[in-house]
Chains A and B, each alone.
Chain A
Amino acid sequence: MEIKDELEEIVFLKNPRIMICEWIPFNKNQIMTINDDLETTKRIKSNLFTSRIDTTPNTATFTTNPIFTEVKIRDYDVSRFVCFDAQVFYPEDVVQIERFGVNIDFSGRVIYGLALKDIDGRKEVQSLDKMSRVISDVVLDSSVMVDTLLSVFQKRLLDVVFFDDSKERDKFTVIIGDEITPHFDDDDKYLDKEQHENELNQVLEAVHRVVTLSPKEKVFVGSHGIILVSPDASKYEEIVSVAAFLYSLQILQRNVSTRMWILWDQIRETREKILAVSESDTEGISHIQEMLSKISGTIVLLEEITKYMSHSTAYIRREWNALRTKIADDECCANLVEALEIDKQAHTRGEIITDIKMGISGLQNEISGLRDIAGTIAEKQMKKVNEALQENIAEMQEMTRASDRTGSAVEVLEIILAGSISFDIVNTFSGEYVNQPLAIWAGEHSSLWFLIILMVWGAIGWLLYYIMDQLQAASEKDLRITLRFDHKVDTDRLNAYLATKEVLVSEETADANTQLKRVSWKEEILDHEASLKISFEAASGILRTFSADVPSPGVLTARDVKGHLIDQLKKAEVVTEDEPVSM
């Protein structure tokens, strides 16, 4: 795609060199791995690289797209650094011969350096307008190129900071030129809030200050880059490489901070969801726990990055201290150091690392608190499920008893039916009492006979009722009454009450948050023996249930038993008149 607009080029640099700098978490182990991957120790120090992964290791050949990076090793130390030249072969719409030098060292400083030989047919002097387009291209291409060398862990760290889109991560740009056109002796003329400043902003994002180092040397400092103008810039390269490290780290730290604020937002959303979740919404709490796990994972990775930052800044301080002694007598170097605020930057990077550590610690504490809340809700939900299960079991037992009673009734009916059939059969053989002595007597004493029939009916009815009652009693093993309280009581009084009982069983179930105690004993309720059981949380003093099992159900009603249980607790002053109770 070619430029659609006619550019108005204002500011030019002679023989521009561009350094694209970034900070990536590195240590010596990872440098060793990169040296292995690049085969730096081999005799032929040149290879082609691709991001393609061989997914068919058993086949003899494979095909790739035409995107390669050619790497030629310049210098290396097995565990400390590697410098190489890379040429990127990407299919572009226009001719782009993109060769750049790459430095990766164990401090995490990654510099992609390139000298611009030709832009759009123009050599030697280039405009900032055109350079801005080259820079955007190199920023993207360098990410693709270095991705082929990074470990999965490093890529994951970058993805966490840059929201899974690390390819377009922002980098710090250093542009070095022999001369600048137009050259103003008055630095403020570059900060004219018009065309010159606009042009500088195209490559520096927001230019902050312009400083003259010597009559022919200037430095322009912006939010995302610097421009160094000097006919002999090589003497500043070491200073610039330290500054590049610090400003690159600043960019990453800004992104880490942004990530942390977003995590706080996500935690706030999660907290709101936790507070809104219903105790019966098991799906909701499971989703919340998943969200908390994801946030926790991100925090762990941010903590890892912070450790890398701490190590890196320690190394760079050592480099800077050595360099400061070396350049102490050079006034121009001192001007550059002051303009780039290297001492202040080095100090600030360390302070920001401390701030990030504090932020991460805060996030971890917050997550821990939310986990506790979510865990408590999940536990409550589990208890409710258990209670519902127990209620269902009790209901099923009651249904079974009802079924047994129905069966008994059917048996009685069967007996009646059998009797009726028997009488019918007898009548078939004996006739309808016609001309029989008993029939004659009955006819003569009809009122008395009717009375006798009623008495016999009554006797049979009583007999059937008695049999049915016995059968029902046999089907109902016992009467069980459970009172649910779920509120705090006076533990001392409860213990005093229990001390008056001959306890048969006492058991405790404890987990991280609760300690449930169950105590059972036997006593008489209205002269009938019953088993009583009480359950309460020993630590918090919350009375859960009080239940009674009466083995002779026919003699006591549910109301009798409930009244007895509540009276017991009230007499012992464990509960008051007003406290609610459910059955």
Chain B
Amino acid sequence: MGVKLTREQGRLLYLIHLLTRTDSEDEVVWVKDLPLKALLYQGIIHGIFDWDYAPQSVLFHGRRKFINVTQEGEDDINDLREIGFVDKLRLSTSEHTHINAYRLSEKGLEAVEAITEDDQDAVEELIICPKCKKTRDVFVEATEAYFFCKSCNKKTPIDLLGIEDVPYITEPFMPRIALLEEVVRHGD
């Protein structure tokens, strides 16, 4: 193959593969950007991905929201795209916005064969229902993100919108503004 993936990149590749694989020759399955972000965040919380995350303002169902975004995860998606393992599709939504969606390319499908069983197990643990061991769906609605297991009919929340607080102390800071000094001195 000639391309050495990091552990995180391999797991990310396998995660996209799990979400988009299909037996149909007529259909192509893509994973949307927001659900993937939710999974990457959940993967960090459960130690599957060794990345950081931080709050970032994104378009969330047509509105601006702060969600937990991993820049390293985003960067690895771009790396996988750069080496041709992942295809990106940009499409319009019924909410009049544009979103991105991903799937594995032919090269990516070949590369996923080389993912170790340990990495596969770790990723499967993320999206498999702990109770019935079947694959869970991921939904991102206007106010929450969650896993949904059809067999158990159970929703498990993903705290994508839960921005963590840090304790901090600030003091007022006011930069000099040219127009205001001018106005004070000379008027309009």
Contact = CB atoms under 8 A, between A and B. Distances in A.
Interface string A468-487: 00000000000000000000
B18 interface: no
B169 interface: yes
Interface residues of B, number: 44
A475 B82 CA distance: 94
A81 B63 CA distance: 31
A110 B162 CA distance: 27
Interface string B15-46: 00000000000000000000000000000110
B172 A113 contact: yes
Contact of A202 (B65, B71, B183): B71
Nearest to B95: A262
B96 A262 contact: yes
B166 A130 contact: yes
Nearest to B65: A168
Contact of A19 (B65, B169, B173): B173
Contacts of A1: 162-165
Contact of B55 (A121, A136, A198): A136
Contacts of A202: 52, 54, 56, 71
A37 interface: no
B54 A133 contact: yes
A1 B171 CA distance: 23
A412 B63 CA distance: 82
B75 interface: yes
A262 B62 CA distance: 10
Interface in B157-186: 162-180, 182-184
A387 interface: no
Contacts of A168: 57, 63-66
A113 B175 contact: yes
A4 B45 contact: yes
B45 A103 contact: no
A81 B166 contact: no
A262 B164 CA distance: 32
A240 interface: yes
Contacts of B44: 5
B175 A134 contact: no
Interface string A91-114: 011111111110101010101011
A98 B45 CA distance: 28
Contacts of B180: 77, 80-81, 83, 103, 105
A157 interface: no
Interface stretch (A317-325, A332-340, A540-548): A317-325
B53 interface: yes
A404 interface: no
A137 B52 CA distance: 18
A132 B54 contact: yes
A162 B174 contact: no
Contact of A114 (B167, B173, B183, B184): B173
Nearest to A201: B71
B175 A19 contact: yes
B97 to A, nearest CB: 8
A115 B172 contact: yes
A96 B167 CA distance: 5
A133 B164 contact: yes
Given A113-B174, A117-B170, A5 B75 contact: no
Given A95-B167, A120-B167, A323 B178 contact: yes
A198 B173 contact: no
A198 B183 contact: no
Nearest to A119: B168
Interface string A114-126: 1111111100000
A482 B55 CA distance: 75
Interface residues of A, number: 88
B72 interface: yes
B168 A120 contact: yes
Contact of A319 (B78, B164, B182, B184): B182
Interface string B68-79: 000110110011
A53 interface: no
B110 to A, nearest CB: 24
Interface in A34-92: 74-75, 77, 80-81, 83, 85-86, 92
A559 interface: no
Contacts of B65: 168
A5 B134 CA distance: 27
A291 B52 CA distance: 45
Contacts of A95: 167, 169
Contacts of B74: 198, 201
A265 interface: yes
Contacts of B168: 96-98, 116, 118-120, 130, 134, 137
A101 B174 contact: yes
Contacts of A96: 165, 167-169
A357 interface: no
B173 A115 contact: yes
Contact of A240 (B75, B162, B174, B175): B175
A493 B64 CA distance: 67
Given A198-B75, A238-B178, A163 B171 contact: no
B62 A74 contact: no
Contacts of A193: 75, 78-79
Contacts of B162: 1
B96 A265 contact: yes
Contacts of A92: 165
Interface in A168-220: 168-170, 193-195, 197-199, 201-203, 205
A234 interface: yes
A103 B178 CA distance: 13
Contacts of A18: 173
Nearest to B142: A165
B52 A8 contact: yes
Nearest to B188: A80
Contacts of A199: 71
A93 B165 contact: yes
B75 A133 contact: no
9 contacts: A93-B165, A105-B177, A114-B173, A134-B168, A137-B163, A237-B176, A241-B178, A322-B182, A323-B178
Given A4-B45, A80-B183, A201-B74, 6 more contacts: A95-B167, A120-B166, A133-B55, A134-B170, A193-B79, A238-B178
Interface of B: 44-45, 52-57, 62-66, 71-72, 74-75, 78-79, 96-97, 162-180, 182-184, 188
